[in-house]
Structure 1
Amino acid sequence: MAISVQPETTPEREQLSAPRLRMKQAGSERGHFDGGWWPRSTDLVAELPALSSALKQWVGPVTSVSYHLDTWGPTARKVRVGDRTVRLEGFRFTDPHTITVIGSGSRSASLLVVPPEAPRDAARAALRSVVDEEPAASAAEILSRNGISPAL
């Protein structure tokens, strides 16, 4: 007789898998960003399932993600996320600290990306700034104001 053991779900384990994401409230002035995201790594494929799940209420099922090629490690052009195929579209002309997530019905979310290596307090402050600061602030301005070097 085989016994199936499921890994214990602890708040710490859930916290490690939950995306570090803040989104603006519905109806707030959009500006450059709809929210901010602090990924744990530069492996977009590994980060995408949790982000996709968290963004479902804003964009629906994710169909594509555009990103800056030099910000993320090498990645495939298409990946499976759950039961869907997601196109990953890398460009050099986009802001290195921004990704755009497109979902069903062409709904999209533009996110400021806080570098994974950013100190915790500075990263959290930057995420708060994205949703609280003036809409015209650029990624470099938000990161710099919060003590994070926006240089690649």
Structure 2
Amino acid sequence: MDGTEGISYTGFHAGSFSANDETRAAAEAARRRVRIMSATLYPTLPHPEPVAAPAARLTLKTDGTSRGLLDGAWWPRSRDLLSELPALTDVLDPLWGRITRIAVNPTYWPVVPRRVPVHGHLVKVGWFTREIDPHKLLLLSYRTGRWDLLVVPPETGAESAARLMAAASDYDGPPLTASELIAADEARHGVPATDGSLNPDESWEDEGGASATPATPAAVPERTGPPGGASRLIIGM
């Protein structure tokens, strides 16, 4: 009796193992079919290439002793200094040396960030309400010099922007300030290139900190021109 039960018991388990093996094999075959169908119906899509930021739109004088009050013109795509300045310094750093400070008049800028991260370093940004023309950008390169760029309003049409940028980077152009240059172009062509004034609550941050209203205006360094070469350099246009 014991032997018979043992044989029956053994045979029962042997059959069970065989059925389980078949079940596992069928399940594995089904999984393979699903994988094949998935690979066929849903192919792996290639990773999109990163989109490079558009180059800064600039015209620059390249004669260090050129006449006039401006060294060129910049036509930003927006009023967002945090996003616009890195593209600008990418162009100017190799030409003029590392830009370390930038200053603006806050009239047309909604926010003036105190520091802007650019490739490899930080640029300090500040504002002056009286010393800097509202349509001008002042740039300082450590131990190299200072440059002044006309800021063409982002909303300016292409034809007006081209005229303004050519005038600001003309070696023999009239000695006009940035605002005078824009006003002269508007008077001649009847196309306004400015928008409403803005009042950001930011200030120049020096090594020792920042103040909402500086007690005394900071001294604006004397301007110098970039190294010699062709009379005008056009970038990003």
* TM-score under structure 2 length normalisation: 0.55
Answer whether contact 1:140 1:150 (CA < 8 A) is retained: no
Structure 1 residues without counterparts, runs of 5 or longer: none
Residue matched to 1:60 = 97
Match for residue 38 of structure 1 among 64, 72, 75: 75
In terms of fraction of residues, the more helix-rich structure is 2
Question: Are residues 58 and 32 of structure 1, via their aligned partners in 2, closer, same or farther at CA, if it must alter by over 3 Å?
Answer: farther
The code of the aligned residue for 1:134 comes to G
User: Which of structures 1 and 2 has the bigger CA Rg?
Assistant: 2
Q: Which residue of 2 aligns with 1:144?
A: 183
Measure, in 2, the Cα distance between the counterparts of 1:130 and 1:68: 18
Residue 109 of structure 2 aligns to a residue in which SS? Answer: coil
Counterpart contact for 2:103–2:126, Cα < 8 Å: yes
Query: 1:46-97 CA distances to partner (integer Å, 9 max, x unpaired)?
Result: 1001100111234211111000112212132112111201100112112100
Q: Is the 8 A contact 1:67 1:89 kept in 2?
A: yes
Could you tell me how far apart the structure 2 residues matched to 1:107 and 1:58 are? 12
Higher strand share: 1
User: 2:67–2:173: 8 Å Cα contact kept in structure 1?
Assistant: no
Give the distance between the partners of 2:179 and 2:133, measured in 1 at CA.
Answer: 9
Distance 1:120 1:102 in 2: 28
CA positional deviation for 1:104: 2.5
Aligned length: 146
Q: 1:121 aligns with which of 149, 154, 159?
A: 159
CA shift, 1:26, in A, is 2.1
CA gap of 1:3–1:120, structure 2 versus 1, over 3 A, is closer
**C-alpha separation in 2, matches of 1:83 and 1:25:** 25
Q: 1:80 to 1:26 in 2, by over 3 A?
A: same
Q: 1:84 aligns with which of 118, 121, 138?
A: 121
Distance 1:78 1:97 in 2: 21
Closer, same or farther in 2 for the Cα pair 1:137/1:75, shift >3 Å?
A: closer
Q: Flag structure 2 segments of 5+ consecutive residues without an equivalent.
A: 1-43, 187-191, 198-237
Distance 1:85 1:117 in 2: 28
Distance in 1, Cα, partners of 2:104 & 2:82: 12
**1:5 Cα deviation after fit:** 3.4
Alignment of 1:88-103 (within 5 A): 88-93=125-130, 94-103=132-141
Identity %: 32
TM-score (norm 1): 0.83
Whole-Å separation in 2 of the counterparts to 1:33 and 1:41:
21
Deviation at residue 28 of structure 1 after TM alignment? 4.7
Match of 1:6 among 43, 49, 52: 49
Native 8 Å contact 2:89 2:99 kept in 1: yes
Deviates more, 1:84-93 or 1:132-141: 132-141
Alpha carbons of 1:58 and 1:119: their partners in 2 closer, same or farther (altered >3 Å)? same
147, 150, 154: which is aligned to 1:109? 147
